[in-house]
C-alpha cells in the first residue's frame, strides 16, 4: 500500500488494448491434442523423456478423436470447462473417469460404487485400457530408443578406452626415451662441468644428434660422445681467442671467436678430414658473439652488425648494419631473422633483408641476451631471455608478447627447447650453485 494514503497501488497500468489483442488469439482446445508419438525408425527418438515433452509446442499433434474446436485465448477456460471431450468423474461413486459427453449416459445406469454399471461402464473401461495400452506402446518405443543409444554410447566408450590405452603406451615409450636422454644429459653435464677438461670457462654448448660441442675460453672446441660412452672424441684447436659461439649444419660446425674470425670444421667421425678446419671466415672487426644457420645462409653477429654468408660457398654476401646496440643473439624461423639487439628484437625479412618489425622489452637497458623459437599447439613462439632475469614469450602470428617467465635468479644467458618445453639457463657466480640448479631443473621437467 501507499505509505501516505494506505491505498493499494498497482505497479503498472493494465494495457486493455494489448489484453484484447492477446485474448483474440486463436488456439486449439487442449482436449483436441495428444503427445506426438516418437518415430520408431529414428535411433534417437527414444531419447526424449516424457517430462521434456511438456510445454513444447512441437511435441504435440492433433488428436483426430478429440475436440476439433478453435477457440479464442480469452475464452479458453470457459470452453474447456464445458468441452464434451473434457475428463469427468462419475458422481455416483463408481470411480470411473470418462469424457463429459458420456457422463450423463453413464450416470443414468450407474448404481453407485460400481454395483450396477452396465455395458457403458465396460465401454469406458475398454477406452481407458486402450489409452493405457497406447501409452505403454509409446513408452516401449522410447525405451528401445534409449537402450539403442546406450549401446552406441557403450561402444563409443569402449573405442575411446582402447584409443586411450594406445596413446598411453605411446606416451610411456616417449617418457622412457625422455628419461634415458635425461640420464645421458646429466652424465654429459657432469663430464663437461666437473671433469675440468677445459682450461677456461665454457661460453657455449651445442647439441647435435649423439654429440655435444663445448666452446671454451681456452680457445678450443671439444666434441663429446654423449649417446653411450660420454667420451671426448676430438678437440678442435686453431682460434687465437676464446670461442664464444657455435652453429651446426649437418656435419659442418661453425665456431665464432673473440679473435674476430669464424672457423669451419668437419665434425663427421667417419670423414677423412674429421676434426680439421676447412676454412676460416674473416671480415669482422670485433668478437663474433653469436651464430645461426638457415637452409641457405650463415648469420654472424659482432658488435653492431650482422654478416650474411653463403652456406655453400662460405662467401660473405652482405653486411646488415644500423643496429644501435650490441648484437647478442640470432635465430631464424620461416624466412625471418630475429636479432637480439639492446632491449629489442628486430625482425628482418630474408627476401629483401629489410627490418619489418621491432619487438621491444619493457625497460631501457634491459638487454636481450638469448633467443629461441618453439613450436606449440597455438603456433610458433619466440622466447627472448634478458638481463632482468626473465624470459619473454612472443607470438610469431601477431608479434605480440603473450607471457613473461620470471622464476630465474640471474641473467638468462642461454635457452633450448626439449620436446616443446623451453629450458632456460641463468648465470650463476659459482660452479657448484650452477650445477645444483641445473640438476634441480631437470628433475622438475622430467
pLDDT, tens digit (0-9, with 9 covering 90-100), for 401-417: 999 888 888 888 888 77
Task: Note the pLDDT of residue 422.
Answer: 54
Give me the pLDDT at residue 149, please: 92
With beta carbons less than 8 A apart as the criterion, state whether 318 and 346 touch. no
The stretches in the chain having pLDDT less than 50 are: 40-55, 114, 116, 420, 428-431, 438, 441-446
3-class DSSP state for residue 83?
A: coil
pTM of the model: 0.52
The pLDDT value recorded for residue 256 is 97
Q: What class is the 200-365 domain? A: mainly beta
Degrees, nearest 5: CA angle 327-275-194: 70
Q: Which residue has the cell 491434442?
A: 33
Cell of 210: 649423439
- Non-local (6+) Cβ contacts of 286 within 8 A are 260, 302, 303
Residue linked to cell 468423474: 89
- Secondary structure class of 23 (helix, strand, coil): helix
Amino acid at each position: 500500500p501507499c505509505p501516505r494514503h494506505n491505498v493499494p497501488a498497482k505497479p503498472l497500468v493494465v494495457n486493455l488494448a494489448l489484453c484484447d489483442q492477446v485474448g483474440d488469439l486463436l488456439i486449439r482446445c487442449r482436449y483436441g491434442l495428444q503427445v506426438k508419438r516418437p518415430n520408431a525408425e529414428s535411433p534417437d527418438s527414444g531419447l526424449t523423456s516424457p517430462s521434456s515433452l511438456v510445454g513444447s509446442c512441437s511435441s504435440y499433434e492433433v488428436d483426430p478423436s478429440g475436440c476439433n474446436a478453435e477457440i479464442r485465448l480469452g475464452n479458453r477456460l470457459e470452453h474447456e470447462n464445458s468441452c464434451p471431450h473434457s475428463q469427468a468423474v462419475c458422481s455416483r461413486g463408481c470411480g470411473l473417469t470418462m469424457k463429459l459427453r458420456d457422463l450423463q449416459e453413464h450416470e443414468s445406469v450407474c448404481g453407485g460404487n460400481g454395483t450396477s454399471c452396465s455395458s457403458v461402464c465396460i465401454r469406458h473401461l475398454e477406452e481407458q485400457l486402450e489409452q493405457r495400452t497406447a501409452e505403454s506402446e509409446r513408452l516401449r518405443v522410447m525405451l528401445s530408443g534409449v537402450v539403442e543409444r546406450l549401446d552406441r554410447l557403450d561402444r563409443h566408450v569402449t573405442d575411446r578406452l582402447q584409443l586411450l590405452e594406445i596413446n598411453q603406451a605411446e606416451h610411456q615409450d616417449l617418457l622412457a626415451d625422455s628419461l634415458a636422454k635425461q640420464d645421458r644429459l646429466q652424465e654429459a653435464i657432469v663430464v663437461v662441468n666437473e671433469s675440468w677438461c677445459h682450461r677456461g670457462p665454457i661460453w657455449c654448448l651445442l647439441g647435435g644428434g649423439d654429440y655435444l660441442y663445448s666452446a671454451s675460453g681456452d680457445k678450443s672446441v671439444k666434441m663429446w660422445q654423449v649417446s653411450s660412452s660420454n667420451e671426448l672424441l676430438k678437440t678442435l684447436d686453431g682460434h687465437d681467442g676464446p670461442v664464444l659461439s657455435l652453429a651446426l649444419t649437418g656435419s659442418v660446425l661453425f665456431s665464432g671467436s673473440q679473435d674476430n674470425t669464424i672457423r669451419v670444421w668437419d665434425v663427421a667421425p667417419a670423414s677423412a678430414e674429421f676434426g680439421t678446419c676447412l676454412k676460416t671466415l674473416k671480415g669482422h672487426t670485433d668478437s663474433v658473439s653469436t651464430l645461426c644457420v638457415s637452409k641457405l645462409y650463415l648469420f654472424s653477429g659482432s658488435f653492431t652488425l650482422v654478416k650474411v654468408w653463403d652456406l655453400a660457398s662460405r662467401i660473405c654476401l652482405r653486411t646488415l648494419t644500423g643496429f644501435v646496440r650490441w648484437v647478442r643473439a640470432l635465430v631464424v624461423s620461416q624466412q625471418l631473422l630475429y636479432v637480439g639487439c639492446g632491449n629489442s628484437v628486430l625482425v628482418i625479412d630474408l627476401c629483401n633483408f629489410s627490418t619489418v618489425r621491432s619487438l621491444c622489452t619493457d625497460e631501457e637497458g634491459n638487454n636481450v641476451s638469448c633467443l629461441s623459437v618453439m613450436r606449440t599447439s597455438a603456433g610458433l613462439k619466440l622466447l627472448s631471455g634478458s638481463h632482468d632475469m626473465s624470459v619473454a614469450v612472443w607470438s610469431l602470428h601477431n608479434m605480440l608478447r603473450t607471457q613473461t617467465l620470471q622464476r630465474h635468479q640471474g641473467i638468462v644467458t642461454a635457452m633450448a627447447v626439449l620436446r616443446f618445453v623451453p629450458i632456460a639457463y641463468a648465470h650463476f657466480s659459482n660452479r657448484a650453485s650452477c650445477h645444483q640448479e641445473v640438476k634441480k631443473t631437470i628433475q622438475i621437467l622430467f
